[in-house]
Structures are given as C-alpha cells and as structure tokens.
C-alpha cells in the first residue's frame, strides 16, 4: 500500500511538498515511478532509436527538396534549445528556420546567445515580439488568478507561434528541445500544462483590463487542424539521443561561445522570479527538486549532489530582491499588490473554465496523434 507520511523519496529528491505524492514499500515515490514509465514509452536513445532518427533526418531532407527549409526550431537561448540548434544545423546539416519569442523578459545574455548561435550556425531567425501592453495585462491577470503556473501565457504563445510559423512557411517538421531525461519529473499537481487557451481566455476575462487582440493562441480545433489536417509533426529530438545536459552545455561553451546562466530557464527574468520567488513563497514549490530528480533518475548526477544543491537558496538573496523589484515595476504592481497576491487563497485551473476534460476525454486520440507526429517510418 502506498503511504503519504514519508517526507522524501529514497531514490530521487521529490518530497511531501508535492500534493498527492505517494511512497511505495521500497521508499520510492510516485514521481520517479512515473518517470520510469515515461522513459519506457518516450525514450528511444538506444541503437534502434538512433536508426529511427537517421531515417527521420533523411526524410526531412527529402521532404525539404524544393523548399527553403527542412525544419523549424524554437530558440530560447537555453541549453536544450541551443543544443537542438547545434544538432540540427551542424550534426545533421538540416536547413532550419528558428523562431524566438520576445515576451519582454529575455535577459541580454539570452538574446546574445541566440544571436551568436544563429550567426555561427547560419540559421535564419524570426523573432516574434508580443505586444507588451497586452501581454503585461495577461501576466498580471495570471498573478491575480492565484494559480501556480503563471508561465502558461508564455509557453502557450511559443507553441502557437511555432505551429503558425510552420504552417505559414509550409514546414512540416518542428524539432523541439523537450526531453524525457531532464524534464519529465513534473507533478501535475505543481503545474497545469500550457495547451489550454480556454483557461487563458477565462483568466484574462476575469482579471484583465486590456483587450486581447494579437496574443497568439491555439484552440483545441487549431491543434487538430495543424497536427492532423496539415500534418505538422513535432519531433522531440533529444529523446532519440543519449542526452547528457552537462556535456551539451560544455560543447555549446567550447564550440559556439555560448554563455551559462547559472540555473535552468534563467534566461528570462520573469522565469527566474517565477521559480525562485513566486512558487516557493506562495505555494512552497521548489521546481529545482523536479529537475534535479530527473537528473538523478537518468544517472547524470547523484542523489547527494542534488541534496547539496537544494541546501542552497535558488539564487542569492540580492538577486531575488532585484528580480522582484524589477518584475513588479515592469508589471506596474506595488509591493502591497504583490504581498496580497502571495497571501491570497491558493487556486488551481479547476477554479476557472478550462478544457482539461476535453483533453482527457480525447487522450486516446492525442496519444495516437503523438505517436503519429513522432513516428519516423510512417
Ligand atoms: Zn522518487
């Protein structure tokens, strides 16, 4: 019988700050058990997967004949997407078009990394700039909503811009940096996913003040249209290789003069504020536990290394204070506004209109679509 009284998993570093976490007789938790299941299903880093990837690259080249590009990639300037750019352009010599989303929060270092990479790798880049007045209003609405995942508006916009750009330029393949080995221990109870535009519209309608006119969003119908009718395929390329994050980072630094940020997703000031201030202060969630647990389970670091890292604060106190001041000023919120936001009741996506039930009802179809979009021999 699983128990919930234990505080920390004996294998990874997930603990009782995860609502609904369960521990089994061997002391291991439901998060890393789920990780193992996802690995079996989605990880293809063996020689068979390697062959499938070679086949896929061949196919992208073939389908790209007579077109300007073979594939589309998203670029945040972070390790995962930068390494994807390297693999695609340098290792596999595919002609990629890159898309970078400017939501107003990227650090100068992130922008410099993106620019250096596309220049060195000879990749064409489109930067999609969100309307700041409108996007600011959506972000403030999410903060006021009291739900944990205030990054949904950014993550959703990235996918919307990618799919719309792929469609516009008739590029059938989007190569993504999402990966099992470093990302797949993320409890659903911590962060609701970003695919749900109904939730975004509902929260904005309730708390927003500026009309939403140009924000790039995707309805459930849009997903069906782009992925099934238009046949755009999403390929998580890092699941087809033996992806070791530290090695990828070293290669980017040595070969492409890429510069480190000192924290996952810290290429954006808002994201750093989200991870290091908002989530710990309001919800008691420390996302480093999930990223470090995935690295432990994939054998890239030891459990002790993860525990040692967690013993330190997510960022120095001075940086946290600077980030908070910067974020509040840019969003037009006072310290009192933010204190109220942190104190107010914790809410979840279930408190607002959303499409979760639709996505769950069609999970079989989505599973089939996922297989289709990542299948390489069809
Ligand atoms: Zn565990």
Predicted pLDDT at 363 = 67
Ligand 1 centroid–CA 275 distance in Å is 21
Ligand 1 centroid–CA 15 distance in Å is 8
Ligand 1 centroid–CA 20 distance in Å is 13
Ligand 1 centroid–CA 14 distance in Å is 6
Ligand 1 centroid–CA 33 distance in Å is 7
* CA–CA distance, 206 with 208 (Å, rounded to integer): 6
Ligand 1 centroid–CA 4 distance in Å is 13
Q: Is the dihedral of CA 354, 235, 165, 88 positive or negative?
A: positive
Between strands 124-129 and 96-102, the pairing is: parallel
Ligand 1 centroid–CA 202 distance in Å is 35
Ligand 1 centroid–CA 292 distance in Å is 11
Ligand 1 centroid–CA 228 distance in Å is 36
Q: Does the pLDDT at position 336 exceed 70? A: yes
Q: Which two tokens stand for residue 62?
A: 């073939």
Between strands 124-129 and 173-176, the pairing is: unpaired
Q: Does the pLDDT at position 47 exceed 90? A: no
Ligand 1 centroid–CA 41 distance in Å is 18
Give the residue from 316, 29, 354 showing the smallest Cα distance to 219: 354
Give the residue from 344, 355, 32 showing the smallest Cα distance to 22: 32
Ligand 1 centroid–CA 310 distance in Å is 15
Ligand 1 centroid–CA 9 distance in Å is 5
Ligand 1 centroid–CA 242 distance in Å is 22
* CA–CA distance, 328 with 335 (Å, rounded to integer): 7
Predicted pLDDT at 377 = 41
Provide mean pLDDT across the span 27-39.
92
Ligand 1 centroid–CA 26 distance in Å is 10
% of the chain exceeding 90 in pLDDT: 75
Q: How many degrees, rounded to 5, is the angle at CA 47 between CA 38 and CA 72?
A: 70
Predicted pLDDT at 189 = 86
Predicted pLDDT at 335 = 96
User: Of 277-281, 284-288, 356-360, where does mean pLDDT reach its minimum?
Assistant: 356-360
132-145 and 152-168 helices cross at what angle (nearest 10)? 140
Residues 45/236, Cβ–Cβ less than 8 Å:
no
Ligand 1 centroid–CA 308 distance in Å is 17
Q: Does the pLDDT at position 376 exceed 50? A: no
pLDDT confidence bin for 358, thresholds 50/70/90:
confident
Ligand 1 centroid–CA 22 distance in Å is 9
Predicted pLDDT at 264 = 54
Q: Does the pLDDT at position 265 exceed 80? A: no
Ligand 1 centroid–CA 8 distance in Å is 8
Ligand 1 centroid–CA 10 distance in Å is 7
**pLDDT tens digits, residue range 84-135?**
999 999 999 999 999 999 999 998 999 999 999 999 999 999 999 999 999 9
Provide mean pLDDT across the span 187-197.
90
Please tell me which residue, 1 or 146, carries the higher pLDDT value. 146
* CA–CA distance, 49 with 283 (Å, rounded to integer): 39
Predicted pLDDT at 227 = 86
Q: Which two tokens stand for residue 277?
A: 């201030």
Predicted pLDDT at 295 = 92
Ligand 1 centroid–CA 251 distance in Å is 30
Tell me the pLDDT of the chain averaged across its residues. 91
Question: In angstroms, what is the C-alpha Rg of the chain?
Answer: 20
Q: Which residues contact 315 (CB under 8 A, 6 or more apart)?
A: 263, 266, 272, 276, 323
Predicted pLDDT at 31 = 94
Ligand 1 centroid–CA 29 distance in Å is 4
Ligand 1 centroid–CA 314 distance in Å is 21
For 153, the 3-state DSSP assignment is helix
Ligand 1 centroid–CA 302 distance in Å is 13
Ligand 1 centroid–CA 270 distance in Å is 29
Predicted pLDDT at 368 = 63
Please tell me which residue, 128 or 269, carries the higher pLDDT value. 128
Q: How many degrees, rounded to 5, is the angle at CA 271 between CA 367 and CA 265?
A: 65
**pLDDT tens digits, residue range 347-357?**
999 999 999 98
Ligand 1 centroid–CA 19 distance in Å is 14
């Amino acid at each position: 019988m699983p128990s919930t009284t234990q505080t920390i998993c004996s294998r990874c570093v997930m603990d009782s700050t995860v609502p609904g976490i369960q521990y089994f007789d061997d002391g291991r938790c439901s998060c890393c058990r789920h990780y193992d299941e996802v690995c079996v299903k989605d990880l293809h880093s063996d020689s068979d997967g390697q062959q499938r990837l070679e086949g896929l690259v061949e196919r992208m080249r073939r389908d790209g004949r007579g077109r300007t590009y073979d594939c589309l990639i998203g670029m945040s300037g972070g390790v995962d997407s930068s390494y994807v750019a390297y693999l695609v352009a340098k290792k596999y010599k595919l002609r990629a078009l890159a898309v970078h989303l400017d939501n107003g929060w990227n650090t100068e270092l992130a922008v410099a990394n993106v620019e250096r990479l596309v220049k060195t790798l000879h990749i064409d880049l489109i930067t999609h700039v969100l309307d700041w007045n409108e996007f600011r209003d959506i972000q403030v609405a999410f903060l006021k909503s009291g739900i944990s995942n205030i990054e949904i508006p950014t993550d959703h916009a990235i996918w919307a811009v990618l799919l719309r750009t792929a469609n516009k330029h008739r590029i059938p393949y989007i190569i993504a940096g999402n990966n099992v080995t470093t990302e797949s221990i993320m409890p659903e109870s911590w962060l609701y996913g970003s695919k749900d535009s109904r939730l975004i519209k509902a929260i904005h309608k309730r708390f927003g003040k500026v009309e939403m006119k140009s924000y790039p969003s995707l309805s459930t119908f849009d997903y069906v249209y782009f992925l099934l009718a238009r046949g755009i395929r999403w390929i998580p390329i890092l699941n087809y290789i033996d992806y070791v994050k530290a090695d990828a980072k070293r290669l980017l630094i040595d070969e492409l003069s890429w510069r480190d940020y000192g924290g996952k997703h810290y290429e954006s000031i808002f994201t750093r504020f989200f991870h290091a201030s908002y989530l710990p202060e309001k919800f008691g969630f420390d996302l480093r536990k999930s990223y470090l647990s995935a690295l432990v389970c994939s054998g890239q670091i030891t459990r002790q290394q993860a525990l040692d890292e967690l013993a330190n604060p997510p960022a120095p106190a001075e940086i946290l204070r600077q980030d908070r001041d910067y974020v509040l000023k840019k969003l037009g919120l006072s310290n009192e506004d933010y204190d109220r936001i942190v104190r107010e009741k914790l809410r979840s996506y279930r408190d607002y209109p959303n499409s979760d039930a639709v996505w769950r009802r069609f999970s079989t179809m989505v599973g089939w679509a996922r297989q289709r979009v990542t299948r390489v021999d069809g």
